[in-house]
Amino acid sequence: MPHISPYNINANILSLIDTLEKDFSTKTEKDILSKLNLIDSYPDMSRYQLSLTKKKLADCYNQHGITGNALALYQSALSDNKSLPVKRTIKSLQAISCADLVYSIDVNYMDEKDIIQHKQNSFSNEYDSEYEQQLHEALGRLGNDYQQEFYRLRDIHDFYSSLPDDAPPPTKPAIKRDLSRLSELTGMTEDEIFNMRQKYIDEVNQEYEANWDKITAKSMVSSKRAQNIHEKALEVARNLDHNYITSAPANISDASFSDSELLFIKYIHHKSVLLDYVPGYFTHEYHIDYCNVIQRALGSGLLWYAPPAFTLSKMTVPKLKAFLLKNEQVPSGKKSNLINQILSFGNVKCFERKYYELTSFGIEQTGYVDLYHKEEK
C-alpha cells in the first residue's frame, strides 16, 4: 500500500470497524488487522491512540461472540495503555476455558501488500558493541529518562532510514538548520554563525534571569485577574436555586443555541451543579453566560438532573456506610449493595439535583458521545 501517515491509516481503521460492527465480513476484518499491525510497527505512533483503536476492534469481536480474538486485542490494548478500562472484561473472558474460546483470523495477520519493505539492516556495522556499552553506561549516569529518550529517538531514526524511498517523513520531523547553506547566504563561516547564535541565546537567558521576579509577579497578577473574571462569571450559575425548577419540560426542537453554548452544555453532563471546575476558555474565549445557558438548557429539555443513584455512585464507600448508620441501617456488601440499600429507603430527596445530566434529546442535539466511559470497578 502507499506509505501515508499512520494517523490517517488509523482513521481509516476506525471507519472500517464501524462497517464491521454492522456487517461482519472476512474481507473487512483482514483489511482492519493488516492496517492495524502496520501502524503498530511505527515507533512514533501514539500508543494511546492505538490502545483506543484496539479496544474498539476488541469490542466489535466481543459483540459478535469471537471471544478469543477479543481477549487477545484487549490484552494488547492494555499493554499500550495501562489505564484503559478493560481489566474486568479481560477477567471475564479469561474465565472462559481455552477450548470454548472462539477465534477468527489471527490478530497478527498482515497482508503482503501492507508490509513495509525495509532496507537491509546493517546494525552490526553501524553500531560497535564496545561503544554501545560505554554509551549505555554514560546515559545511565544521566538518568533513566535520558537513556530511554535517547534510544526512543534512535529507534525512530533507524526505522525511517530503513523505509522505501516513497515513504513519508516522520509524523514529528526534527527541524535542522543547515549552517553551510546559511554560510553561503551570509558570507560568514559556520563557526561565526554558531557563536553569534550562542551569544544571542546567552544574552536572552541573562535578561530573562535578571527580570525573573518581575516577570513572575506580572504573570501572577494577570493570572489572578483572569481567574477573578472567570469566578465572577460562574458565581450566578453556582447560586442557581434548583428547588424552583419543578419538572422536566417537553423537548423544544426550535431552541436556539450557538455551537459554543452546545459545547458547554455537553461539558457539564454529569458535572456537579456547584460547577466546582469549569475551564477558563468558556469565559475568555467563548464568553458563555453560564446561568442563562443552563436555565435555557433546562427549560428546553436538553439538560436535566441526574437521578439519586448517580449522585450516590459519586460518593465514597465510607460516606455511604456513614449515611446508612446515621439512618439506623446496617451496611453490608459492596458499593452497589450500599447504594441499593439507600435507594430502598424511598426517601432520597437529599441526593436529588446534585448533578446535571443530558437528556436523550440533549444527547441528540449536542452530538454527545461517551468515548471514555470507564467500567464500574
**Whole-number Å distance between alpha carbons of 363 and 357:** 10
Q: Output the pLDDT for position 246.
A: 75
- pLDDT digits over 124-158, tens only? 455 566 777 777 777 777 777 666 767 666 666 66
Q: Long-range pairs for 51-59 at CB < 8 Å and ≥24 separation?
A: 51/77, 51/78, 51/80, 51/81, 51/84, 52/77, 52/81, 52/84, 52/371, 53/10, 53/13, 53/14, 53/17, 54/80, 55/84, 55/86, 56/14, 56/17, 57/13, 57/17, 57/20, 57/32, 58/86
Q: Which pLDDT score is estimated for 46? A: 84
Residue range 307-354, pLDDT digits in tens = 999 999 999 999 999 999 988 888 889 999 999 999 987 678 899 999
Q: Which three cell numbers stand for residue 110?
A: 498482515
Separation of alpha carbons 149 and 140, rounded Å:
12
Q: How many CA atoms lie within 13 A of 175 on its CB side?
A: 0
Residue 349 DSSP symbol: G
Residues of the chain with pLDDT under 70: 1-4, 43-44, 112-129, 145-147, 149, 151-186, 251, 253-255, 346, 370-377
Q: Return the SS3 of 372.
A: coil
Q: How many CA atoms lie within 13 A of 183 on its CB side?
A: 10
Strand partners, 304: 357
